[in-house]
Amino acid sequence: MKDKHSQELRDKLKTEFPRPSFGLKTWIKAPLFANDCRIVGTAFDYLMRFHLQFINPETFIQRENWVADIAFTRLTNYLSGKKGMEIAIGSKKDKIVNANLLKSIIAKQYKEAKKNYLKYIGNGQITDELAKNALFLAKLDVYYRKAIIDKNFDFYDPWDIVDLKGLIKLVDNNQFLAAKQCYLNPTFGKGSSLVSGADADLIIDNTLIEIKTTGDLKLNRKDLNQLLGYYILSLIGGVNGKPKDKTIENIGIYFSRHGILWTIPLSKFGNKQKFNNFKKWFVEYVERPKKIMLSQEQIELRRSEIRALMISQKVWSQEEIEDWMGF
């Protein structure tokens, strides 16, 4: 959605699915304390998933691995390969650390995160340690998505912990109780594969919800595009590898700093036929570059076949054929 080459897709979404009216008004109940709001936002996503698992013990459905689990394996393998060398980390590569020492720090914190997560889903008690664990997992997420090793794996700002605990206290459990299913961090099978990976925040029964930890209480076009995009992917591949699971009927955003959930029925954007038509267009749009590449391969193959045939028939010499065909 953000790619500079995807303007056609953004224009199509804007034309087909105009932004609806958005009348929510309230004040920020959890003011921003964080120095790095992106890390806190991702950390809250983890903390929220833990909380939803706690309040939906019978209905929650979670992928086998967190994104942070995959990142942990990749990062520790990378550090092992450095064999104790000094390496530069951070987005600007401006901090030098020993690879073995960093690996030890990360392994210890990963073990603690798993332990405290299991403790939380048993007792529901938010602690400073659990908040630190969520921040740690968020830093692993950054490595997975951007290949950046956070330079503060061994430090946690106390204000970030205050921020996270304030955010989780705002959650109204009644808004997130699932009658049948609570998908945490769901993917969309072939739909996700089509776009080289896509995972949403959660699905409560038939409502797809994204969590936005921002000070702005408004419906941005990019957020609406994100939700509609996930829904289209679910039409292509279902949910969590179940192609027939296409139960999403509403989309929504949870504005965590305001403690408010906004939802809207997908029927407000159009009927099933309209979405199916868009799905067909979208698949063709995504596959278009592949078709161009395939066409080029076919052309090269045909050129080779023509050259071989002309040589075998001794119509022209090798040099004459290559000159004519532009080799």
Look up the pTM and report it.
0.84
What the block records as the tokens of 102 is 């960093």
Q: For 167-201, how does the pLDDT look when each residue is reduced to its tens digit (9 = 90+)?
A: 999 999 999 999 999 999 999 999 999 998 899 99
Ranges of each domain in the chain: 1-18+173-270, 30-169, 273-325
pLDDT at 299 over 80: no
- In this structure, of 27-31, 69-73, 118-122, 253-257, the range with the lowest mean pLDDT score is 27-31
pLDDT for 2? 75
Question: What value does the mean pLDDT take over residues 216-228?
Answer: 96
The span from the first CA to the last CA of the chain, in angstroms, equals 39
Dist CA 7 CA 137 (whole Å): 33
Q: Which stretches of the chain are assigned E, i.e. beta strand?
A: 60-62, 86-89, 95-98, 182-184, 202-204, 207-212, 250-255, 260-265
In whole numbers, what is the pLDDT of the chain averaged over residues? 89
Dist CA 140 CA 126 (whole Å): 21
Q: Please state, for a pLDDT cut of 90, what percent of the chain lies above it.
A: 75
Q: CB-based contacts of 236: which residues, under 8 Å, 6+ apart?
A: 188, 189, 190, 191, 194, 279, 283
Q: For 10-56, how does the pLDDT look when each residue is reduced to its tens digit (9 = 90+)?
A: 999 999 999 999 989 999 999 887 677 889 999 999 999 999 999 99
pLDDT band at 313 (very low <50, low <70, confident <90, very high): low
Q: For 103-147, how does the pLDDT look when each residue is reduced to its tens digit (9 = 90+)?
A: 999 999 999 999 999 999 999 999 999 999 999 999 999 999 999
pLDDT at 270 over 90: yes
pLDDT for 218? 94
Token look-up 């909380």 returns 51
pLDDT at 271 over 80: yes
Torsion angles phi and psi, residue 34, rounded to 5? -70, 150
